[in-house]
Amino acid sequence: MTRLWDRGEPLDALVLRYTAGEDHVLDERLVAYDLRASKAHAAMLAAHGYLSAADLEAVSAAVDELAAAHARGEWHIALEDEDCHTAIEARLTAQVGEAGKAIHLGRSRNDQVLAALRLYLKDALAALATRASRVAQVLGELAAAQGGLRMPGYTHLQRAMPSSVGLWAGAFAAELEDDAVGLRAATRRADKNPLGSAAGYGVPVVSLDREQTRAALGFAATQEPVTAVQLSRGKAEATALFEATLLATDLGRLAADLCLFATAEFAFVKLPDAFTTGSSMLPQKRNPDLFELIRGRTGEAAAALQEVLAVIAKMPSGYHRDLQLIKKPLFRGLDVVFDSATLMAHAVPAIVFDATRLEQALDPSLYMAETAYRLVQEEHIPFRDAYQRARHQGPGRRREP
């Protein structure tokens, strides 16, 4: 195997395994994006006379064949390839000969991987935003079906004021939609074309049309100057993980409420058997494992964000091999939040609130704030005086809706 950087010197097998790490596995999800970028780059080279029309046709056809074969699982990246770039170039060269080598003109693995990563990020963020909106949608449907049920609202885990299932579900739905907006906005840093920056300082002599590849790949802008491209690495990834972590946090808090509400002490909700597990020792128990894991995996998303930030912290400008370490936490963090959102959207429609238990929990003390406000409105006294009168007067009778 001849790697893109290979000059003929042998590479120690242990060094290869350590430096390649898991890139050959992680890059499987980047293959389609790298092929798209390669096709756009080849078209740009042909437009400027660096590749013949016949070679462009052969390269384009080969790229399409490689993409389809990879999607069918007919080939994979090997450790010896190190990454998707070597694996693709080797196969292209095997299929179309010298033209497969020619398309590396004017690019480096540095701008190649960024182009693929940014195309992936745009798709991943859009998919995650759609998942967030789906959870919001099913919460809205729950509110429409059961929203009229009254329930206590809590502060400090103490009963505070009357609320409703509609207000509870509506709050989470609103925040999840806000998360979707944040995820879509997080594409801003990923939506810049890095191709043509090469190893970080542009390409001498050769005239590249970065605007052509930008348009072909659907990037909103071309990143300038070329030296900013490597300096920006990790920022689009961290932005994506930050927004994903906020989504994970909202999913985790929703899950925490459901775990609490499903306890015998509350018994506000009945979680469906299909989404709970039994106990290996206690026959009577059903455990909210799914919701506990969604709650716990909030930490995985936050840890992935911190890991990316730690890689780029205090790093000098230009390219450094440790930037490779960003991919693993990026994929892991986005994957876990995507899975959590998918499962929450699947589970929420099966949740049923217990109207009797909710009513039993609405003790008269929850209406004391309302009593104080009514005193202000009816007797025109200062709120602090009304507050004291309501406090001394006690709960009184609960008002009917």
- DSSP structure string for 322-349: GGGGGHHHHHHHHHHHHHHHHHHHHHGG
Our CA angle for 242, 246, 248, nearest 5°, is 110
**125 in Cβ contact with 190 (< 8 Å):** yes
For the question of residue 279 being annotated catalytic, the response is: yes
In the set 41, 156, 320, 340, the catalytic residue is: 156
Second CATH level (architecture) for the domain 110-206+219-360:
Up-down Bundle (1.20)
| Domain ranges within the chain, ordered by starting residue | 13-105, 110-206+219-360, 364-393
**113 in Cβ contact with 86 (< 8 Å):** no
Task: Pick one of 3.40.50.1380, 3.90.1150.10, 1.10.275.10, 3.30.2310.20 as the CATH number of 13-105.
Answer: 1.10.275.10
Tokens of 298: 């909030």
- What's the CA gap between 213 and 190, in Å, rounded? 15
Q: How far is CA 63 from the centre of its chain?
A: 28
Tens digits of pLDDT across the chain (401 residues): 454 545 556 667 777 666 656 878 899 999 999 999 999 999 999 999 999 999 999 999 999 999 999 999 999 999 888 889 999 999 999 999 999 999 999 999 999 999 999 999 999 999 999 999 999 999 999 999 999 999 999 999 999 999 999 999 999 999 999 999 999 999 999 999 999 999 999 999 998 999 999 999 999 999 999 999 999 999 999 999 999 999 999 999 999 999 999 999 999 999 988 888 777 787 677 889 999 999 999 999 999 999 999 999 999 999 999 999 999 999 999 999 999 999 999 999 999 999 999 999 999 999 999 999 999 999 999 999 999 999 988 775 555 54
Can you tell me which residue has the tokens 């509400």? 261
The pTM is what?
Answer: 0.91
In the set 48, 52, 76, 279, the catalytic residue is: 279
